[in-house]
């Protein structure tokens, strides 16, 4: 973090009794004849970083846009900061931050100029607990754009532009921040800086919901990972739990008389011992691999998309139920 | 102050900032200069040819007419163009994400387009008065006409532009709409008096604001004997106010719901899709 100081002031004491910042139940979305979301449900608590993971077209953006109040849902109960987004007023909107992927908007504006302008819309919603908006210069320092403060936005590099997008998203000191694939197109260094920025916000009690299809990113940032595939949440749990569960099954590969074999097993050690007891020297090219989170994720998504998994098994993938 | 009015105030600042930006952006400065040249060319060509029976030159007739046309043109097409472009590039979505940001955006756009229209009129006017004789020599009373014609003209054209900008699918479509607008300008008594056209074309031209803005500007800037070149040898102030007023009312009735519908459908996904399309066109 370039400026831990600035971020530490972002902290807003949450009003008591509103711990559940997002509550989604049986969210359904239908476009013409196609069901995009078939009963999505999850919650997010204050200060939590929830990562919505899923393949392209899984409905991540649709889900997040319903929560932002930008899209009407077909069915289901949704509560964001205690309000139904479909009926959220501007006072409610002032408590949200949305990081949009800018393209070439406001190209003639200078960085400080636009941040100060957009921030000023939040001034009527300032309270003793949450001072809005964030001071433009402090915010610029927090996202590491001090050198570019007087530059036209159209001249920023991709990474700078994305950091600027984050700055716009948090200029109103939101209680809840939405980021839809925020690191797409960022180089590793910029990505790393961005991760620090998000963690810093969460440390100060901002709830963060972000979508990505980058597993490493999800693992690094998330307090909880939700996997959205086939229009449903197929996994919901803390990142460590998901990784642990994911690595429970190992893949054993070997050759026997020159022919390749492969087997998945939760107990690779015993499996390999039996293999040698049965076939002895005929076994060659032995390889034991613990499945990574990525392997599990890919298998899960592939199976779901192929429709080869019956509903019950899809449900069985869901764990961390106690988190709900 | 209510948050809406507060946001409207921010919109005024926003519009002013964006107007200022056009003076320091090469492309926009070029746009102003090019427009001035485009208006000057017919004045040069017509030169001092007398307009028969009106006691003024053809150039003197054209200058105020072209200023009126500039107002109509800027009000409609610039508004439409900006709205379509800002929908595509995400400016509107950003406005939607901040509290009452749409109010600020809309007010900002009105201020910015109005300012652009005034600058686009002022530059050719300043250059034109040196080129042709007999324009803007009437003083006070006539100039007062400007005080109501110009604001009414903006009111008549901006909302229509906003409606068009909300309905088109992309900024490129607005470019296509320019063609019929050009045609309308030709038959709207800008380059020559409307009375020289067949009667049915006169009727068509009198439906649209372009003719009336040309007439209003001529009424303000030309000597009183020039009225001889007009239909019925009258400046038709009442009709001018009536037609422009009707457009203003229609536009103001229509624009809010169309704008709201457009804004409601704005989302990141919709924008990403448009971006994709626009990129494909470039690539």
Scan for tokens 């009129």, then name that residue.
Answer: B121
Is residue B109 situated within a structural domain? yes
How large is the average pLDDT for residues A30-39? 88
pLDDT for A204 equals 86
How large is the average pLDDT for residues A136-140? 93
Tell me: pLDDT of A228 over 50: yes
Is residue B59 situated within a structural domain? yes
Is residue A298 situated within a structural domain? no
Q: By mean pLDDT, which of A224-228, A312-316, B5-9, B86-90 is the weakest?
A: A312-316
Give bridge partners of residue A287 from the DSSP assignment: A253
Q: Is B89 in Cβ contact with A103 (below 8 Å)?
A: yes
Q: Is B272 in Cβ contact with A121 (below 8 Å)?
A: no
From the list A50, A101, A100, the residue with the least C-alpha distance to A233 is A50
Determine the distance in angstroms separating the CA of A279 from the nearest CA of chain B, rounded to an integer: 57
Q: Is A71 in Cβ contact with B267 (below 8 Å)?
A: yes
Complex ipTM:
0.87
Percent residues over pLDDT 70 in chain A = 85
Is residue B131 situated within a structural domain? yes
Reported confidence tier of residue A18, pLDDT bands at 50, 70, 90: low
B90 touches chain A (CB under 8 A): yes
Work out the number of other CB atoms within 10 angstroms of the CB of residue A99.
24
pLDDT for A248 equals 67
Is residue B282 situated within a structural domain? no
pLDDT for B239 equals 93
Q: How far apart are CA B113 and CA B123, in angstroms?
A: 15
Q: How far apart are CA B256 and CA A149, in angstroms?
A: 36
Q: Is A61 in Cβ contact with B268 (below 8 Å)?
A: yes
Tell me: pLDDT of A60 over 70: yes
Is residue A52 situated within a structural domain? yes
CA B90 from centroid of its chain's CA atoms: 24
How large is the average pLDDT for residues A186-203? 85
CATH number at residue A107: 3.40.50.300
Enter the tokens of residue A199. Answer: 């963690």
Tell me: pLDDT of A16 over 60: no
Q: Is A103 in Cβ contact with B267 (below 8 Å)?
A: no
Reported confidence tier of residue A2, pLDDT bands at 50, 70, 90: very low
Q: How far apart are CA B211 and CA A141, in angstroms?
A: 54
B170 touches chain A (CB under 8 A): no
Does residue A133 have a cis peptide bond before it, meaning omega lies within 30 degrees of 0?
Answer: yes
Determine the distance in angstroms separating the CA of B278 from the nearest CA of chain A, rounded to an integer: 11
Q: Best mutation site among A70, A96, A171 for testing chain B: the one with the most B CBs within 10 Å? A: A70
Is residue B279 situated within a structural domain? no
Q: How far apart are CA B24 and CA B27, in angstroms?
A: 9
Give bridge partners of residue B51 from the DSSP assignment: B56
What does the buried/exposed string (b/e) look like for B252-277 if buried means 16 or more CB atoms within 10 Å of the residue's CB?
eeebeebbeebbeebbbebbbebbee
Range of the domain at A35: 4-237
Q: Best mutation site among B268, B272, B279 for testing chain A: the one with the most A CBs within 10 Å? A: B268
pLDDT for B67 equals 94
Higher pLDDT, B44 or A291: B44
Split into its structural domains, chain A has a count of 1
Enter the tokens of residue B174. Answer: 């607005």
pLDDT for A9 equals 38
pLDDT for A300 equals 72
What does chain A come to in residues?
324
Minimal Cβ distance to B91: which of A65, A105, A117 = A105
Q: By mean pLDDT, which of A53-62, A206-215, A241-250 is the weakest?
A: A241-250
pLDDT for A316 equals 41
From the list B259, B264, B203, B268, the residue with the least C-alpha distance to B231 is B203
Residue of A nearest to B103 (CA): A121
Q: By mean pLDDT, which of A244-258, A295-309, B74-88, B238-252 is the weakest?
A: A295-309
Q: How far apart are CA A29 and CA A16, in angstroms?
A: 32
Mean pLDDT of chain A: 83
Q: Taking an 8 Å Cβ-Cβ cutoff, which residues of chain A contact chain B?
A: 61-62, 65, 68, 70-71, 90-91, 93-94, 96, 98, 100-106, 108-109, 113, 117-118, 120-125, 168-169, 172, 180
How large is the average pLDDT for residues A87-104? 88
How large is the average pLDDT for residues A55-84? 91
Could you write out the DSSP letters of every residue in B87-118? HHHTHHHHHHHSTTHHHHHHHHHHHHHHHHHH
**Using CA of residue A88, residue A90, residue A91, residue A95, what is the dihedral sign?**
positive
How large is the average pLDDT for residues A234-247? 77
Q: How far apart are CA A46 and CA A207, in angstroms?
A: 5
Reported confidence tier of residue A32, pLDDT bands at 50, 70, 90: confident
Minimal Cβ distance to A100: which of B14, B18, B268 = B268
Is residue A87 situated within a structural domain? yes
HSE-up of A108 (CA within 13 Å, CB side)? 15
Q: How far apart are CA B135 and CA B233, in angstroms?
A: 18
Determine the distance in angstroms separating the CA of A266 from the nearest CA of chain B, rounded to an integer: 41
Taking 50 as the pLDDT cut, the residues of chain B under it are: 283
Determine the distance in angstroms separating the CA of B15 from the nearest CA of chain A, rounded to an integer: 11
Q: Which residues of chain A does B10 touch, with a Cβ-Cβ cutoff of 8 Å?
A: 117, 120-121
Residue of B nearest to A122 (CA): B99
Taking each helix axis as running N to C, give the angle between helix B140-167 and helix B171-186, from 0 to 180 degrees, rounded to the nearest 10.
140
Tell me: pLDDT of A162 over 60: yes
Could you write out the DSSP letters of every residue in A100-128? ---SSTTTTSBHHHHHHHHHHTTGGG--S
Q: How far apart are CA A162 and CA B118, in angstroms?
A: 36
Q: Is A105 in Cβ contact with B86 (below 8 Å)?
A: yes
Range of the domain at B183: 3-269
Is residue A260 situated within a structural domain? no
Determine the distance in angstroms separating the CA of A225 from the nearest CA of chain B, rounded to an integer: 22
Reported confidence tier of residue A294, pLDDT bands at 50, 70, 90: confident
Distance (Å) of CA B39 to CA A247, B46, B51, B218: 74, 12, 18, 15
Tell me: pLDDT of A324 over 50: no
Split into its structural domains, chain B has a count of 1
CB–CB of A225/A48 below 8 Å? no
Reported confidence tier of residue A305, pLDDT bands at 50, 70, 90: low
Q: How far apart are CA B229 and CA A67, in angstroms?
A: 63
Is residue B14 situated within a structural domain? yes
Is residue A308 situated within a structural domain? no
How large is the average pLDDT for residues A118-127? 94
Q: Is B268 in Cβ contact with A180 (below 8 Å)?
A: yes
Q: Is A113 in Cβ contact with B17 (below 8 Å)?
A: yes
């Amino acid at each position: 973090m370039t400026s831990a100081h600035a971020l530490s002031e972002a902290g807003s004491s949450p009003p008591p009794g509103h711990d559940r910042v997002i509550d989604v139940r049986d969210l359904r979305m239908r476009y013409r004849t196609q069901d995009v979301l078939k009963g999505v449900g999850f919650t997010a608590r204050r200060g939590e970083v929830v990562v919505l993971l899923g393949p392209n077209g899984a409905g991540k953006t649709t889900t997040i846009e319903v929560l932002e109040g930008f899209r009407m849902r077909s069915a289901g109960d949704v509560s964001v900061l205690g309000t139904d987004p479909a009926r959220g007023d501007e006072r409610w909107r002032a408590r949200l931050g949305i990081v949009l992927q800018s393209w070439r908007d406001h190209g003639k504006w200078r960085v400080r100029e636009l941040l100060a302008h957009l921030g000023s819309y939040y001034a009527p919603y300032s309270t003793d607990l949450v001072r809005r908006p964030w001071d433009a210069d402090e915010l610029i320092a927090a996202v590491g754009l001090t050198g570019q403060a007087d530059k036209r936005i159209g001249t920023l590099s991709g990474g700078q532009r994305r950091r600027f997008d984050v700055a716009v998203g948090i200029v109103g000191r939101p209680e809840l921040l939405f980021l839809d694939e925020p690191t797409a197109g960022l180089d590793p260094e910029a990505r790393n800086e961005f991760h620090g920025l998000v963690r810093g916000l969460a440390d100060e009690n901002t709830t963060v919901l972000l979508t990505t299809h980058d597993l490493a990113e999800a693992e690094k940032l998330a307090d909880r990972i939700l996997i959205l595939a086939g229009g449903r949440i197929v996994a919901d749990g803390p990142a460590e739990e998901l990784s642990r569960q994911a690595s429970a099954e190992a893949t054993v590969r070997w050759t026997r008389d020159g022919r390749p074999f492969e087997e998945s097993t939760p107990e690779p050690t015993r499996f390999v011992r039996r293999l040698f007891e049965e076939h002895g020297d005929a076994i060659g090219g032995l390889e034991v691999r613990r499945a990574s989170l990525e392997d599990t994720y890919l298998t899960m998504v592939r199976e779901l998309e192929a429709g080869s998994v019956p509903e019950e098994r899809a449900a069985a993938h869901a764990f961390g139920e106690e988190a709900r | 102050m209510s948050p809406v009015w507060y946001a409207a105030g921010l919109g005024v600042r926003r519009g002013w900032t964006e107007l200022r930006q056009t003076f320091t952006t090469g492309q926009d400065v070029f746009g102003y200069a090019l427009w001035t040249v485009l208006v000057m060319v017919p004045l040069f060509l017509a030169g001092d040819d007398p307009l028969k029976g009106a006691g003024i030159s053809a150039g003197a007739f054209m200058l105020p007419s072209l200023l009126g046309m500039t107002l109509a043109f800027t009000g409609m097409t610039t508004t439409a163009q900006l709205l379509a472009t800002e929908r595509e590039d995400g400016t509107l979505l950003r406005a939607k994400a901040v509290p009452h940001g749409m109010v600020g955006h809309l007010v900002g756009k009105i201020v910015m387009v109005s300012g652009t229209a005034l600058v686009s009129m002022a530059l050719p006017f300043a250059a034109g008065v040196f080129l042709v004789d007999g324009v803007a020599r009437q003083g006070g009373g006539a100039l007062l006409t400007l005080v109501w014609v110009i604001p009414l003209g903006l009111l008549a054209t901006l909302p229509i532009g906003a409606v068009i900008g909300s309905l088109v699918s992309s900024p490129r479509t607005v470019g296509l709409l320019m063609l019929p607008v050009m045609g309308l300008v030709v038959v709207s008594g800008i380059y020559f008096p409307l009375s020289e056209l067949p009667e049915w074309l006169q009727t068509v031209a009198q439906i649209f604001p372009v003719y009336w803005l040309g007439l209003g500007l001529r009424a303000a800037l030309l000597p009183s004997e020039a009225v001889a070149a007009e239909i019925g040898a009258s400046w038709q102030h009442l009709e001018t106010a009536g037609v422009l007023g009707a457009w203003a009312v229609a536009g103001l009735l229509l624009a809010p719901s169309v704008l709201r519908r457009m804004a409601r459908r704005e989302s990141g996904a919709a924008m990403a899709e448009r971006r994709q399309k626009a990129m494909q066109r470039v690539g």
